[in-house]
Amino acid sequence: MIALGLVLSGRESAPVTRAVPMVAPGERRVVVAPAETLSVNGGATNMTRGDVAVLLLPGPVGSAFSMRKVVRELQALSIEPLVVDPLGMGASTRPKGADYTLSAQAARIAKVLDAELPVGATVIVAAQGTSATIAFHLAATDTARVRGVVSLAGGPIDKQGTPGVRTALTFASLLDNPIGRSFAKRRFVSALRDQSADERWLTNDVVKQYVAPIENDLRGLLRTLGAMQAAIERFPIETRLARITAPVHLLVGDKASSSAPTVAQVALLQTHVRRFTVDTLRPGGTMLHEERAADVARVIGNLVRSARR
């Protein structure tokens, strides 16, 4: 959520603004509650009871599109991942009045897994940024199904708001015009560069996909960010981490960034998660799914092989 803060403070279908293109053929919608529909891409079509699936949870920056490199690397390992945009992100709906706490997001993802996976199938969850806490909640509340978690530069948090987001909401009316959107796009690209050790992945075509939510539905994006910031978590993640029985693998980059997990967040995982590993990818920032996709896929693949034994 840091990048969006810098930017702006710089089955059944529901009406939705199309923010980013599909990450793979076969995009579909899964209704998890009235007016709450999640965008789902990919996934293996021949899974049976006992199989191990891979679920990718993008963060709010880039959404499903941002996982395209990891998807390709996993496919090279004969793994067909499922990619799901959480509510309010990407091509999923942005309903007013929804519960945008991260525990509620995890409950929605569980419903998607109920709909998409056969009974008895298990899953490795890889999540970027703030979505890592969605994965932690899911692993804590669905211990039988979640066999591993890979966090891509995401520490445990209870709120997605940042100072930048608060500023953006204050001046939302100023941004809701062509000049404001142009300013937001420039700040957005600058923020992504700041979070990257190697910015060569930020091509013009990629930037166009990343900034699409700003161009297409800035007002809806600001409204949703405001709802996420205002959401009060009923189940603090610190109280749930000890319930996680699956291995948790945190990947971080070596470039210092305000959006990277803090020392306190890493310590929280080390203290409460019984099977916790942290690795630093060099060079790398917080956009590891863009900069180090092959390494991310390798870690996921190792967890899949371990779960299949």
Q: What is the per-residue pLDDT across 135-159, written as a single tens digit (0 to 9) for each?
A: 999 999 999 999 999 999 999 999 8
Helix (H, G, I), strand (E, B) or coil at 199: helix
d(CA 112, CA 292): 28
**Residue 119 near residue 62, CB atoms below 8 Å:** no
Q: In this structure, which topology does domain 2-308 adopt according to CATH?
A: Rossmann fold (3.40.50)
Per-residue pLDDT of the chain (309 residues; tens, 9 = 90+): 445 544 443 333 333 333 333 334 578 999 999 999 999 999 988 898 889 999 999 988 878 999 999 999 999 999 999 999 999 998 899 999 999 999 999 999 999 999 999 999 999 999 999 999 999 999 999 999 999 999 999 999 998 765 555 555 566 666 667 777 777 778 888 888 999 999 999 999 999 898 887 677 777 888 888 899 889 999 999 999 999 999 999 999 999 988 899 999 999 999 999 999 999 999 999 999 999 999 999 999 999 999 998
pTM equals: 0.89
Domain limits, the chain: 2-308
Q: Which of 24, 125, 131, 145 is nearest to 75 (CA)?
A: 24
Report the half-sphere exposure of 80 (CA within 13 A, side-chain side): 14
